[in-house]
Chain A
Amino acid sequence: MRYIDEYRREADAQKFVQAIHQRVTRPWAMMEICGGQTHTLIKFGLDQLLPPSLTLIHGPGCPVCVTPLELIDKALLIARRPEVLFTSFGDMLRVPGSTTDLLSIKAQGGDVRMVYSPLDAVKLAQKHPDRQVVFFAVGFETTAPTTAMALWQAQHLGLTNFSVLCSHVLVPPAMEALLSAPETTIQGFLAAGHVCAVMGYHEYEPVAETYRVPIVVTGFEPLDLLQGIAMTVEALEAGRWGVENQYRRAVCREGNLPAQQTMQQVFEVCDRQWRGIGLIPRSGYRLRAAFAHFDAEWRFDLGGVTAQESPICIAGDILRGAKKPHQCRAFGTRCTPEHPLGAPMVSSEGACAAYHNYGR
């Protein structure tokens, strides 16, 4: 496939690998934010081609993984209601809540459906006017514009049977939270290319400046990642900080303005809890007052949800990059993709699933 195959050629990858080996003179640690990038790194074995002195810290960029347990429990409460048709992206359906997961509710007769796009949920609401259709909106700045458009559509169609359980989170505040943690070892970042395709990368400039780190906007194919790593290494070795853009074919500094405008109409920035990390100020979106009647937390009575985290799962350490999956004592034994104890084992973007599926 065009724009995929040519970025996976081994001979080309080797050139970047060689360049990285020749440039590295001392240990460096960089974080790839996005779980999709973690997957490419592990799937193609890129991590094993790099100099051992280079540490890749896997970041919190797995939407399913950072969605608070409390919100998953709320989703479960809503999905159980007889009048509700509950929709979400596939990964979300398998994430364990405190007691059960969405797929189990479906097996018990609940109307839970996977959708490919939030617009599919709007279509379901049009088709089933007698049902309350709820979309569980998770994800970063890549899925936020898709939820925003679904809400805009619902508004224009005058739908009264559509609502959204909103859990959208934003990357730059999380990067700042990680960088300002006293135990941080992060010296540079590979920023998530598709988040930047939407938001641009000007928001990262003050972060790079304040913490004096290089931030390289990076794509998702093996060649992209190796070039992004090479650029980060080059900046670190040269003592440079600032934002650079590896993923120029899809990202410009300003990002996608029509998408940003729609998001601004629908959402406002709010504080958000990140599972495993805690509260990060101004790190997410909630619905603006003009759209508040589409908020599922407002529409349904959800009082009394108290979440219970698994005592074994160390997802918090994994998401902060403090530990690697195989350092969890449940990894591969009590916790597998078939029977996940925590979200990083469920999601295709979770670090635990990546390590498990590719035999690390």
Chain B
Amino acid sequence: MCLGIPGKVTHIEHDPLGMMMGKVSFGGIAREVCLAYVPDVQVGEYVIVHAGFALNKVDEQEAMEVFDLLRQMGEMSETGELCGT
């Protein structure tokens, strides 16, 4: 139940109650998802989906940071100076 997974927003619309709904693709499999909690989301952005709701957007820049860190750790380990985080 807590296994929210990231997917890409491919379509946005409003239902008869005015609620923001949309289609989210998970590696090619599309699902209908409520987007009411991410009102500023745009088509093409990634969201974390949980029980049919997008709970938040995935921040692309923040997502890259761990790989920058790993790269730094990699470089340091080559010089034998790996020192944790």
Q: Please determine whether A63 and B1 come into contact, CB atoms closer than 8 angstroms.
A: yes
Q: Decide yes or no: A12 and B70 within 8 Å by CB, A119-B34, A248-B65 being known contacts.
A: yes
Choose from B26, B34, B62, B82 the contact partner of A149 (Cβ within 8 Å): B34
| Chain B interface SS verdict (over half) | mixed
Mask of B47-74 contacts with A, CB within 8 angstroms, 1/0: 0101111011111101101110110011
B56 nearest in chain A by CB position: A197
Q: Which residues of B contact A118 (CB under 8 A)?
A: 51-52
Q: Which residues of B contact A68 (CB under 8 A)?
A: none
Q: Which residues of B contact A192 (CB under 8 A)?
A: 2
Q: Please determine whether B3 and A220 come into contact, CB atoms closer than 8 angstroms.
A: yes
B22 at the interface (CB under 8 A from A): no
Q: Please determine whether B74 and A15 come into contact, CB atoms closer than 8 angstroms.
A: yes
Q: Please determine whether B50 and A194 come into contact, CB atoms closer than 8 angstroms.
A: yes
Q: Please determine whether A230 and B2 come into contact, CB atoms closer than 8 angstroms.
A: no
Distance in Å from the Cβ of A319 to the closest Cβ of chain B? 15
Q: Which residues of B contact A348 (CB under 8 A)?
A: 3
Q: Please determine whether B36 and A258 come into contact, CB atoms closer than 8 angstroms.
A: yes
Q: Please determine whether B53 and A3 come into contact, CB atoms closer than 8 angstroms.
A: no
Across chains A and B, the number of contacting residue pairs, with CB separation under 8 Å, is 145
A120 nearest in chain B by CB position: B52
Q: Please determine whether A349 and B84 come into contact, CB atoms closer than 8 angstroms.
A: no
Q: Which residues of B contact A149 (CB under 8 A)?
A: 19, 34, 36-37, 53
A67 and B26 alpha carbons, distance in the complex (Å): 30
Distance in Å from the Cβ of A344 to the closest Cβ of chain B? 14
Q: Please determine whether B85 and A250 come into contact, CB atoms closer than 8 angstroms.
A: no
Q: Please determine whether A349 and B36 come into contact, CB atoms closer than 8 angstroms.
A: no
Size category of the A interface is 35 or more
B42 at the interface (CB under 8 A from A): no
Q: Please determine whether A3 and B6 come into contact, CB atoms closer than 8 angstroms.
A: yes
Kindly identify, within residues 1 to 60 of chain B, every residue whose CB is under 8 Å from any CB belonging to chain A: 1-6, 8, 17, 19, 26-27, 34, 36-39, 46, 48, 50-53, 55-60
Q: Please determine whether B4 and A194 come into contact, CB atoms closer than 8 angstroms.
A: yes
Q: Please determine whether B73 and A145 come into contact, CB atoms closer than 8 angstroms.
A: no
Kindly identify, within residues 103 to 130 of chain A, every residue whose CB is under 8 Å from any CB belonging to chain B: 116-120
A26 at the interface (CB under 8 A from B): no
Q: Decide yes or no: A117 and B6 within 8 Å by CB, A2-B46, A91-B1, A249-B58 being known contacts.
A: no
Identify the interface centre among A6, A19, A223: most chain B CB within 10 Å of its CB: A19
Mask of A229-270 contacts with B, CB within 8 angstroms, 1/0: 011011000000000000011110000101100100000000
Distance in Å from the Cβ of B71 to the closest Cβ of chain A? 10
Listed in ascending order, the chain A residues whose CB lies under 8 Å from chain B are 1-4, 6-7, 12, 15-16, 18-20, 22-23, 34-36, 39, 61, 63-64, 89, 91, 116-120, 138-140, 142-143, 145-146, 149, 153, 156-157, 192, 194-195, 197-198, 220, 223, 227, 230-231, 233-234, 248-251, 256, 258-259, 262, 347-349
Q: 12 new A-B pairs (CB below 8 Å) besides A156-B17, A194-B50, A227-B69?
A: A7-B66, A15-B77, A19-B82, A118-B52, A145-B53, A194-B55, A197-B48, A197-B55, A197-B56, A249-B58, A250-B59, A347-B1
- List 30 contacting pairs A-B, 8 Å CB cutoff, sorted by A: A15-B73, A15-B82, A16-B70, A19-B83, A23-B84, A91-B1, A117-B52, A120-B52, A138-B1, A139-B2, A139-B51, A142-B2, A142-B4, A142-B51, A143-B50, A146-B50, A146-B51, A149-B36, A156-B17, A194-B50, A197-B4, A197-B55, A197-B56, A198-B56, A227-B69, A231-B85, A233-B84, A248-B65, A249-B59, A250-B57
